[in-house]
Amino acid sequence: MNVLLVDDHFCAREGVACLLKQIIPELQVFEAESFDEGLTVAQQTPLNLVMLDVQLPGKDGLVGLAELKQAFPDLCVVMFSGLDDRELVFQALRLGAMGFIVKSVARQVFVDALRDVLAGKVYLPASAVGPQRTVDSYAGDVTDIPKVSDSACLGLTAREFEVLTWLVQGIGNKQIAKQLGIEEQTVRNHLRPIYQKFGVAKRTELLVKVFERGIVFGKPGVGN
């Protein structure tokens, strides 16, 4: 597995590289101190994951993110930054990032976040998810939703709601299928109408809509 770290601070790169190798010793970690240098690595090396700092010299990380996703649409890019700003997180997700890790979190939180992104999960900081709040009921269109916790309020079937509840935990289709006791293809079949009802085309766009509107879910249920 090949991971590229793009950060202009040597100590930050070395620290993250060390943590990554602790998690997966056989991991191959590449480093770059600017976006242009990182892009060159991406063009020459098959990569599984890019960890891209937001604040970079020359080309801003978000601008670089858009450029990376245009050149490599299937490449998993996770932003990491000293900035912990809700709108910044959502902007990164809209541009195609598969997660956002804040550098200032405690060591164990950072390690857990790295484990998640290496496993293909979407990791978001607490500032993006927001406080846990619920609303008992709501009648309205899915495009007009406040904070809710009921499938009917979202215009979803009970199973679609279960899938969405697990999806916002940041896990992939395979893990969702295992938790619900269904086939992975069945999960994908349920995701299509969920995307359609929320007016989105992909997982990260759905997460943005869910968290921006403050939709809150209880503890995910386990399938029969």
CA dihedral 145, 150, 153, 155 (to 10 degrees): 100
Which one is predicted more confidently, 154 or 103?
103
Neighbours of 184 (CB within 10 A): 14
Confidence (pLDDT) at 63: 92
Question: At which of 107, 129, 151 does a domain end?
Answer: 129
Domain that holds residue 42: 2-129
Confidence of residue 222 (pLDDT cuts 50, 70, 90): low
**Percent of all residues in the chain with a pLDDT value above 90, rounded to a whole number:** 29
Determine, yes or no, domain membership for 222: no
Confidence (pLDDT) at 113: 83
Determine, yes or no, domain membership for 87: yes
Burial of 44 (0-12, 13-18, 19+ CB in 10 A): exposed
Determine, yes or no, domain membership for 120: yes
Residues 156 and 108 grouped into a single domain? no
Residues 113 and 57 grouped into a single domain? yes
Confidence (pLDDT) at 7: 93
Question: At which of 129, 161, 176 does a domain end?
Answer: 129
Residue 168 phi, psi dihedral angles, 5° rounding: -70, -10
* 1: Cα separation from own chain's centroid: 19
Taking only the tens place, the pLDDT of each residue in 79-132 is 988 888 888 888 888 888 888 988 888 888 888 888 888 877 778 777 666 543
Distance CA 52, CA 56 (A): 9
* Burial state string for 142-156 with b = 16 or more CB within 10 A and e = fewer than 16: beebebbbebebbbb
Taking only the tens place, the pLDDT of each residue in 44-84 is 999 999 999 999 988 889 999 999 999 998 888 999 888 88
Confidence (pLDDT) at 125: 79
Determine, yes or no, domain membership for 101: yes
Question: At which of 69, 94, 129 does a domain end?
Answer: 129
Residues 70 and 108 grouped into a single domain? yes
Count how many domains the chain has.
Answer: 2
pLDDT, mean over the chain: 81
The type of residue at 108 is: Q
Confidence of residue 149 (pLDDT cuts 50, 70, 90): low
Do 88 and 54 form a contact (C-beta atoms < 8 A)? yes
Confidence of residue 214 (pLDDT cuts 50, 70, 90): low
